[in-house]
Amino acid sequence: MGSGKKESFILIVVEGKKLEPKIIDSINKNLQIFNNEQIKFCYETHIYDLYKRKRKEENKFKTLLSLLKEKKEQDESFKDIDDEQIVDRYLFFDHDVHHHDKDKETNIVENNQKVKEMLEFFDTAGDKFKGKLYISYPMAEAIKDGENCDNCKLFHCYKTVYINDNKHYKENIGCKSCYTDILNLTKQDWQHILTINWNRANQLMKLYPNFVFSENSLMQPIDSQQDIFYKQKIMCQKSNEVAVLSAFPLFILEYLNNENKQKLIENLSK
């Protein structure tokens, strides 16, 4: 007798083990956009480490899944999953250019160059050797940055933070965020988060001003992660700032086809 068809999965690789898995769980609960069950892998360090490992000559022909399994050999949760079961691979990491070196200015330039290389390398969700990378600016906590929750005027601009303040950003947002508990987000909260971040991206790229959550707006194409990074890099160079932008809303807009965007609108309007 045959063993039957194996279950298919979406591999989601995130940087942290606390916030990011909760974001994925909240997306599942409120938005229900995924067609397959997800495997969440918490890398627990920055994207630079993964990229460095992947670019080593001895790892050149290792798939993303195999590298992740090597990192956590004791993790039993997905040891029996093979590459043929993974339909797409998505990576969510922080911009994080402030880390490491004492010479922050030099470090930011060098790390931005690395981010550029990584976005060019991790560019295809269906590629088992790579996956597709999404960057949060300055970090995953950007999704909590609802400082403008009650100020509709700020829907139509983007907010910036200084690179050198990034190390305090997490605790600062944690103290004043509208969304302290991600698992308690509602559909209305998500509509608000999506609108804010899509607006921020559009304003950063100078496209589709005054985004309104509607079918027509959702059908507009979003700029690529590389294009958004290019604008962020210019801001880094000119003023040592980045525009606050969560990767997850931009991923959602890219992930959904037009039919499923319509379903999302109907779901959030219930």
If one counts every other C-beta atom within 10 angstroms of the C-beta of residue 238, the result is 8
* Cβ atoms 252, 194 nearer than 8 A: yes
* Residue 270 three-state SS: coil
Residue 23 lies in a domain: yes
Cα(46)–Cα(49) distance, integer angstroms: 6
Range of the domain at 208: 9-268
234 belongs to a structural domain? yes
pLDDT mean across residues, the chain = 83
What does the block give as tokens for 50?
């993964």
User: What letter would DSSP give residue 153?
Assistant: G
- Domain contains 209: yes
pLDDT of residue 103: 47
Token output for 120:
């060019």
pLDDT at 230: 92
In a domain, 4, yes or no: no
Look at residue 2 and tell me whether its pLDDT is greater than 70: no
No. of H helices and E strands in the chain? Answer: 10, 7
Q: Which pLDDT band holds residue 64 (cuts at 50, 70, 90)?
A: very high
Number of domains in the chain: 1
1 located within any domain: no
| Nearest CA among 51, 65, 61, 54 for reference residue 10 | 65
